[in-house]
Structure 1
Amino acid sequence: MVNLAALKYGRLRYNSPWTQVVIVGFVALCSVGMFSAIGGLGAGGTQDVQLSDIASSVLYGCFCVGGFFAGSINTLQNILGPRMTMSIGTSGYAIYLGALWNFQLHGTRWFLIFAGAILGFSAALFWSAQGSIMMSYPMEKDKGRSFTVFWVIFQMGTLIGASIALGIEFHSTLSTMSTGVYVSFMIIMLTAMATSWVVLPPHLVVRGDGTIVELQRSLSPKQEFKEFIQMFKDWRMLALFPMFFSSNYFYAYQGAITASLFNGRTRALVSLLTGLGSMIGSVLIGSITDVLPFSRHNRALAGCAFVLVLSCIVWGSGLGFQTKFTRASAEVLGEEIPWDWTVGVAAGPITLILAYYLVDATFQGLAYYTMSSLTNDPFKLARIAGYYKGIQSGGAAVSFGMDAVKTAYLGEILISWLLILVSLPLCALVVYRIRDTNYEVETVKHVEEMEPEIIGEISLPDGHRAGQDLEKK
């Protein structure tokens, strides 16, 4: 069997943090990215917005419950570990897509709701493992760009998925997606389950400075539960609660107006553009948090200010547009809906939705950067990521539930924007107190301190030769 940890080509190492983040990005591309592409079509590619909202509300409700425990499950190495956690986590996306497809063919409503519950629990596992890897594997100076690399690759899934849908639907005037779209997405999603197994466990990953991802001793389930409860007593987690709660809250509103305003092929185009907007936003926030010549907490504060200003511009524009129509409107801006992209007035709203996702990526990136600044411990970050996804999904469940009962669009956008405005000053309070480095207060383990048998089985960064390391030991 090939020893993946020993693979090296020039300066490229399989066991470098960057390689692992890229692989996790591709796992997300094939699973969550395809799911996001379907979500970008509005109502999961169907015209039954209410059913989609109910299924999504169940999904995020289960995600909320599962998220709180997923981090602890991921850290219990003897139970799952990151590889199996991600593989199981990605399976739910294929099941949910199958339920959407089944609904299109046979109108089976209960299975879509049931699949939403399955996806909620499985997605919690995936995002806990993903968050731990993306936040703990890279060096501190690279954590912002680590998010950028992951998010760009992940959103390429949205871009590719939307391109497939757009290509298949290009000459269609139907309001729903065809069977060809669902078949293509299903094939791609199933590959994610296998790709998860080529991710390396933490103890085989070596950073560029010769440090390794430190692992604490394995905790018992009882001890793990105590660590989990301790997070709810941390003032930083309480201060970040509004940010976590609001980080997916606006998806219900954006998906609802997309389904209402556009026909099938235009929704495919919108989905493609939202992926592009997310990629641009991730590059912007990664550059601010890693490249600006300031201290770490000043870069994070600059990120807070940037996201706040950008949110005010985009959401303010969205509010102005929303005042022009309601749920009951049959015409918007003087044109009957749903629009095709050939309708002249569609250009502005399409651009607006692209901008919404650009802001979303900067907001998500800031949240991840803030969490990753608190510690470098992969087990603690797995718990924090699980807490984050749990709170985030609770917010999404509430928003989809509100949309399912046909809450006024104007009320939805006002709540979404208000939550963002409240959360950013509290995030700034947390990042103001972060250290410029955690290496001075947390255990740092170097290659030279690893067991000799492990050193002989992995590739090392330039300047760290196995022979020298063994001699030092």
Structure 2
Amino acid sequence: MVEFKLPAWYTTPMAQVILVGITCFATVGMFSAVSNLGAGGLSDITLSDTSNGVLYGCFAVTGLVSGGINNVLGPRLTLFFGTLGYALYVGSLWCYQTQQTGWFVIFAGAILGVSAALLWSAQGCIMMSYPLEKDKGKAFAIFWAIFQFGSFIGSIIALAINIEDGQLSAVSTSTYIAFVVIILVGVASSFLVLPPNRVIRSDGTIVKLEAVSKPHEEVVGMLKLLKDWRMLALVPMFFASNYFYAYQGAVNAGRFDGPTRALNATLEGAGAIVGALMIGYFVLDLKYLHRRNRGYLGLAVAAVLVIIVWAVALAWQVTFTREDVANGTANKINYHDSNYKGKGALYFFFYFSDACYQALAYWIMSALTNDPFKLARYAGLYKALQSAGSAGSFGMDAVATPYLNEHLASWLMLLASFPLAYLVVRTIKETNYQDEAVVYVDDVRRTEAEEGAAPSPYGNAHAEKTDSIEKGSTSEVAPELPAA
């Protein structure tokens, strides 16, 4: 049987990062667009909070093992299963709008929690391990910009559909139909992703010789992960990284009308795109600084943004309460109103700073190792703790916790995470190439020729050839050459 030889550009790390970005653009991006409309676009905020609480609870539990599942199944299948829950969840919102099936929204939230953990573990593995060390900040920037562009476009769709009626209390069913169609395209795109043993970096190294791991190896790997003090130090950062979404969504739903909520979601997407590109290209991959110093700079940028943006949000928050929203004392704001401009800017910078914070978390993890299997476990733990925080925050919002309490809880968690993250950044090495085995595609081809085996269609080898060609911990470090 003749094997199809893949184009060289297709097997590059950035091509795979872009593909994963497209998958998340069409799936997670559409989910984010719906969520950012406030209460998932629903008029029943309690139902939305309950569903999100269940979603993130299941996400947290599954996240503990999703990295291992990705390593056993491979990123392609893991991504595919991970995308299915998004179609089901947005479909459940559509069903609720027409049939009032609240139970289905909660059930779909649970299924999405399981599938999302799989998707994000595969995504984290690819984004953090496939690129060269010098390109990991840019890889995040590219992925996050594409992914958030999905939220941006989805929000524009919602805005265009709902713009005519300023009193809309919930998103129209046609909005959900548009989202579901786009999500199904994302499901199909997951089959384009390659496993690590078929990806070749620009310096001629293969990301990982093995395509998949073994179950018992994942159990051992997870136990080692839980004993790593650096991962324990990052727990507050992981937990806090999505905690504030419930608060921001609740205020968006309570203080703005339907079209303005859609406009805010559009501004959020724009803020996330700009923030990711800024910190990825101009901070975390700044070539004039040593890697650890880039980490310090990224930490400083994220901390300053969190302090300023949330201080501005606090100045607005103290002017109204949840009770004011409930009894109508605080009127819903329309984008035509004179007092809207500052609020729109706030939602832009909420997600600008969020992108910088998320970039820092991913960059720190990716600087600790280049091994895709380890990074898949890191990503799984990150999303598990992140989702546990989200479940708690949506639980707080579901029982009508005062807005001010939610604001302060979110802000203080973010601030508390920075000192511990600093301790981890201090341990970052200039490179991990000398400590981890590196495999060159030319060595694989040479070994295949010597053994008389038929060359692989993309110049890679099978896992059983590992021992004959791996380079150990030597001074021969993978050179970082420009992409061809």
TM-score over 0.5 for the pair:
yes
Alpha-carbon distance in 2 for matches of 1:392, 1:421 = 16
How high is the TM-score relative to the length of structure 2? Answer: 0.90
| Structure 2: segments with no counterpart, 5+ residues | 461-468, 470-484
> How many Å apart are 1:223 and its aligned residue?
3.1
Aligned to 1:299: 294
The correspondence for 2:16, drawn from 12, 16, 20, is 20
Aligned to 1:257: 251
SS of equivalent to 1:47: coil
Alpha-carbon distance in 1 for matches of 2:2, 2:164 = 47
Alpha-carbon distance in 2 for matches of 1:270, 1:454 = 56
> How many Å apart are 1:132 and its aligned residue?
0.2
The correspondence for 2:421, drawn from 410, 423, 427, is 427
Q: Does 1:338 align with 2:340?
A: no
> How many Å apart are 1:40 and its aligned residue?
1.0
Kindly, what percent of the aligned residue pairs are identical? Answer: 50
Aligned to 2:79: 86
Q: Does 1:170 align with 2:163?
A: yes
Q: Return closer, same or farther for 1:220/1:331 CA change in 2, 3 Å cut-off.
A: closer
Aligned to 2:66: 70
Contact 1:244–1:392 under 8 Å retained in 2: yes
Contact 2:195–2:211 under 8 Å retained in 1: no
The correspondence for 1:161, drawn from 154, 160, 176, is 154
> How many Å apart are 1:249 and its aligned residue?
0.3
SS of equivalent to 1:214: coil
The correspondence for 1:147, drawn from 137, 140, 153, is 140
Aligned residues: 453
Matched residue type, 1:251: Y
Q: Does 1:398 align with 2:389?
A: no
Q: Return closer, same or farther for 1:432/1:4 CA change in 2, 3 Å cut-off.
A: farther
Alpha-carbon distance in 2 for matches of 1:250, 1:454 = 54
Alpha-carbon distance in 1 for matches of 2:284, 2:11 = 25
Q: Does 1:327 align with 2:322?
A: yes
Aligned 1:434-449 pairs, distance under 5 A: 434-449=428-443
| Structure 1: segments with no counterpart, 5+ residues | 461-468
> How many Å apart are 1:220 and its aligned residue?
3.8
Alpha-carbon distance in 1 for matches of 2:186, 2:31 = 12
Q: Does 1:114 align with 2:110?
A: no
The correspondence for 2:93, drawn from 100, 122, 126, is 100
Aligned to 1:463: none
User: Could you report, residue by residue, the CA deviation over 1:129-185 in whole angstroms, capped at 9, with x for unpaired residues?
Assistant: 000000000000000000000000001101110111111112123121111101000
The correspondence for 1:57, drawn from 43, 53, 57, is 53
Aligned to 1:36: 32
Alpha-carbon distance in 2 for matches of 1:31, 1:3 = 31
* 230-239 vs 164-173, greater mean Cα deviation: 164-173
Contact 2:273–2:352 under 8 Å retained in 1: yes
Aligned to 2:375: 381
Alpha-carbon distance in 1 for matches of 2:25, 2:100 = 28
SS of equivalent to 1:344: coil
Alpha-carbon distance in 2 for matches of 1:248, 1:389 = 9
Q: Return closer, same or farther for 1:66/1:338 CA change in 2, 3 Å cut-off.
A: same
User: Could you report, residue by residue, the CA deviation over 1:250-299 in whole angstroms, capped at 9, with x for unpaired residues?
Assistant: 00000000000111111111111100000011012102010251110110
Q: Does 1:415 align with 2:399?
A: no
> How many Å apart are 1:337 and its aligned residue?
2.1
SS of equivalent to 2:324: coil
Aligned to 2:128: 135
Aligned to 1:240: 234
Matched residue type, 1:62: C
Aligned to 1:464: none
Alpha-carbon distance in 2 for matches of 1:216, 1:240 = 29
SS of equivalent to 2:323: coil
Alpha-carbon distance in 2 for matches of 1:388, 1:123 = 13
Aligned 1:444-455 pairs, distance under 5 A: 444-451=438-445, 452=448
> How many Å apart are 1:3 and its aligned residue?
6.5
SS of equivalent to 2:70: helix
Contact 2:74–2:212 under 8 Å retained in 1: no
Aligned to 2:268: 274
Contact 1:29–1:153 under 8 Å retained in 2: yes
Alpha-carbon distance in 2 for matches of 1:268, 1:283 = 23
Aligned to 1:45: 41
Matched residue type, 2:217: Q
Q: Return closer, same or farther for 1:107/1:295 CA change in 2, 3 Å cut-off.
A: same
User: Could you report, residue by residue, the CA deviation over 1:57-101 in whole angstroms, capped at 9, with x for unpaired residues?
Assistant: 10000000000100001111xxx2111100110000010001111
Aligned to 1:205: 199
Alpha-carbon distance in 1 for matches of 2:314, 2:339 = 17
Alpha-carbon distance in 2 for matches of 1:454, 1:402 = 60
Q: Return closer, same or farther for 1:36/1:258 CA change in 2, 3 Å cut-off.
A: same
Alpha-carbon distance in 2 for matches of 1:219, 1:49 = 42
Aligned to 2:481: none
Contact 1:215–1:379 under 8 Å retained in 2: no
Contact 1:5–1:14 under 8 Å retained in 2: no
How high is the TM-score relative to the length of structure 1? Answer: 0.92
